[in-house]
Amino acid sequence: MQRKDFLKLGALAALAAGAPGTIASALAGRKQLPPEHPVIIVGTGYGASVAALRLAQKGVRVLMLEMGMEWPVTSRHDTFSKMMPPDHRSSWLKDGSIAPFGNIFSFKKYTGVLDRMEFDGLKIYAGRGVGGGSLVNGGMAVTPKRAYFEEIFPEIDSAEMYARYFPLANQTLKANLIAPAFFERSEWYRFSRVAQQQAHKSGYKTTFVPNVYDFNYMEQEDAGTVYRSALGGEVIYGNNAGKNSLDKTYLAAARKTGLVEILTLHEVADVAAEGNGYKLDVNCIDTSGAVVQTKVFTCKYLFVCAGSVGTASILLKAKATGGLPDLSEDVGKYWGNNGNVMTGRNFVRPGTGASQSSIPVMAIDDWNNPAHPVFAEIAPLPIGLEAWSTLYLAITRNPDRGTFIYDKASKALQLRLPENFTRQSVAATRNLIDKLNDGNGGTIAHLLFHNGIGDDICYHPLGGCVLGRASDMYGRVKGYRNLYVIDGSMIPGSTGVNPFVTITALAERCIAEIHKKDFA
């Protein structure tokens, strides 16, 4: 600031101190104005969608700000990129494909649907667009084991969760199970049946897992009467049919109320407490990622639901740069990867089939193993060739936690992980693969991952604004009124299963309480 500007401001301030009315309000500027929006929700993933629907059903007007695009699935079935070969729509502002392996495809940068965020030693994946992770995920809708849920959240009434909020979440998400007869006869699930038989031979139990993909639709795909999405190999770059992602469940219902507006390609850059609410600085981007406009929004109630990484980034930046200086020291902490390790087996005989559905329906459940607990999703490898391989996403019990830091110098979020962060997860995964290979032959999947172990891949980022730590047990952020975090950040690093049902059910519980008490 120039010296003369400083003096002018000083004189104005002195005047204002003794003079109410015009000068005082001019100085206070927009702080005197009521917030423009009653509620703003950042993001459109699981936590965000639950909050939007339940508030709108009670008559509250909601604005949602989403950095990604709208992906409307139509009868042309050409919304999302194909898996083979992927095009620019597959990836968030990258010049090539970003799948966990086999990235030989290049294209122009575009605001595509799957993002990969690189941290020291870890690649974290997330969905971008209206529906967040639901657009790109495998749709596995798994309710956590009650004993483990109680261990993670001893303060939460688990009887209420299992009687009320988990069933509500599963029902609204449209979770359904594959029909056993279809599973047994379908060539598309040969890979699961082979993995199941081999698991049993090695002494493991398997379990069917529900999914939000519509299995009635899949049976029609099998009959050849409709467009093939799951049976056409579509999944991590979006499904052009069949999948009940959030835009078709929670968000469709929220929009139907007429009270929910979603602005896309709106990236929240800064958040600050202002007056009796919050101010958001937002970058409007085009599909190349360039900022084409900046906007300011204000609101009374702010829900930051940008996913574990996005929420940590917004909150820690605001704490470091003065927008939200009173946030708790616990923001950014208790972060975990849900013990994720990708692995597989090569030279699996008999083969696993050239035709594989992209939708997983089964897992090896050895969670109660005292030495090496693991819940391993039997994942497809839908490349259209006999690969003689099985793929697993192992969810292990990793007790170590990381911490997000906002680095002011580089203006970037960093993730600090303890040394050997994945050692227990890797030991559990190796134990699983060794036992499967001992019983059935085959080798650990050197052809897919370095040393056969993809412990640098995280699909399930959890934590950073944990219930009972950085917020109360309902997502009210400590240090501020009417500021909430309801997304994967609430969970301290692990759920023992794929996490979106847990996030959805917890969000249902939080928003019921928040609406009742804070919107009275």
Taking the complex as a whole, the smallest distance from the CB of residue 135 to ligand FAE amounts, in Å, to: 8
Distance of CA 280 to CAs 65, 204, 299, 303, 490, Å? Answer: 10, 51, 8, 12, 22
User: What residues pair up with 37 in beta bridges, in sequence order?
Assistant: 299
Q: Does 487 bind ligand FAE (CB under 6 A)?
A: yes
Residue selected from 83, 500, 505, 506 as contacting ligand FAE according to rule CB under 6 A: 500
Q: Does 380 bind ligand FAE (CB under 6 A)?
A: no
Placement of tokens 């069917």 in the chain: 208
Instruction: Mark the segment that binds ligand FAE (CB under 6 A) among 61-69, 152-160, 328-336, 408-416.
Output: 61-69
Nearer to ligand FAE, 68 or 475 (CB): 68
Q: Are 432 and 366 in contact (CB under 8 A)?
A: yes
> Which uninterrupted H or E stretch holds 241?
none
Instruction: Mark the segment that binds ligand FAE (CB under 6 A) among 125-133, 179-187, 327-335, 367-375.
Output: 125-133
Nearer to ligand FAE, 141 or 440 (CB): 141
Q: Does 339 bind ligand FAE (CB under 6 A)?
A: no
Nearer to ligand FAE, 278 or 500 (CB): 500
Residue selected from 98, 136, 218, 364 as contacting ligand FAE according to rule CB under 6 A: 136
Q: Does 68 bind ligand FAE (CB under 6 A)?
A: yes
Taking the complex as a whole, the smallest distance from the CB of residue 468 to ligand FAE amounts, in Å, to: 18
Nearer to ligand FAE, 277 or 499 (CB): 499
Q: DSSP letter for 329, please.
A: T
Nearer to ligand FAE, 45 or 452 (CB): 45
Half-sphere exposure of 466 (CA within 13 A, CB side): 25
CA distance 55 to 165: 16
Is there a catalytic annotation at residue 460?
yes
Instruction: Mark the segment that binds ligand FAE (CB under 6 A) among 122-130, 188-196, 324-332, 341-349.
Output: 122-130
User: What residues pair up with 365 in beta bridges, in sequence order?
Assistant: 375
* Residue (of 101, 123, 148, 479) closest to 323 by Cα position: 479
Backbone angles phi, psi at 292, to 5 degrees: -105, -15
> Which residue is catalytic, options 234, 267, 274, 377?
377
Residue selected from 35, 41, 43, 232 as contacting ligand FAE according to rule CB under 6 A: 43
Is there a catalytic annotation at residue 234?
no
Nearer to ligand FAE, 194 or 305 (CB): 305
Q: Does 236 bind ligand FAE (CB under 6 A)?
A: yes
Going through 33-165 in order, the beta strands assigned E by DSSP cover: 37-42, 62-65, 114-119, 122-127
Residue selected from 234, 267, 456, 508 as contacting ligand FAE according to rule CB under 6 A: 267
> Which residue is catalytic, options 221, 234, 460, 508?
460
Q: Does 69 bind ligand FAE (CB under 6 A)?
A: no
- DSSP string covering 175-198, please? -B---HHHHHH-GGGHHHHHHHHH
238: tokens are: 């979006």
Q: Does 460 bind ligand FAE (CB under 6 A)?
A: yes
Binders in 386-445 for ligand FAE, by CB under 6 A:
none
Helix (H, G, I), strand (E, B) or coil at 140: strand
* Residue (of 286, 361, 306, 358) closest to 126 by Cα position: 306
Nearer to ligand FAE, 212 or 442 (CB): 212
Count, residues near ligand FAE per rule CB under 6 A:
38
- DSSP string covering 465-515, please? S-BTTTB-TTSBBTTSSSEEE-SGGGS-S--SS-SHHHHHHHHHHHHHHHH
Four-CA torsion 147, 152, 155, 161, nearest 10 degrees: -60
Backbone angles phi, psi at 91, to 5 degrees: -135, 145
Taking the complex as a whole, the smallest distance from the CB of residue 505 to ligand FAE amounts, in Å, to: 11
Taking the complex as a whole, the smallest distance from the CB of residue 124 to ligand FAE amounts, in Å, to: 8
Nearer to ligand FAE, 231 or 486 (CB): 486
Q: Does 268 bind ligand FAE (CB under 6 A)?
A: yes
Residue selected from 35, 86, 112, 132 as contacting ligand FAE according to rule CB under 6 A: 132
CA distance 273 to 270: 10
Residue selected from 498, 505, 508, 511 as contacting ligand FAE according to rule CB under 6 A: 498
CA distance 288 to 302: 28
Residue selected from 80, 107, 119, 125 as contacting ligand FAE according to rule CB under 6 A: 125
Taking the complex as a whole, the smallest distance from the CB of residue 487 to ligand FAE amounts, in Å, to: 3
Residue selected from 80, 459, 474, 484 as contacting ligand FAE according to rule CB under 6 A: 459
52's CB contacts (< 8 A; 6+ apart) are 41, 44, 62, 64, 250, 251, 254, 260
Q: Does 148 bind ligand FAE (CB under 6 A)?
A: no
Nearer to ligand FAE, 277 or 442 (CB): 277
Nearer to ligand FAE, 231 or 246 (CB): 246
> Which uninterrupted H or E stretch holds 278?
strand 277-285
CA distance 502 to 88: 32
Q: Does 139 bind ligand FAE (CB under 6 A)?
A: yes
State the CB neighbour count (10 A cutoff) for residue 190: 17
CA distance 51 to 48: 5
Q: Does 310 bind ligand FAE (CB under 6 A)?
A: yes
Taking the complex as a whole, the smallest distance from the CB of residue 40 to ligand FAE amounts, in Å, to: 10
Backbone angles phi, psi at 300, to 5 degrees: -85, -50
Instruction: List residues with catalytic annotation.
Output: 377, 460
Residues that bind ligand FAE (CB under 6 A): 42-47, 65-68, 125-128, 132-133, 136-140, 236, 267-268, 305-308, 310, 314, 459-460, 487-488, 498-500, 503
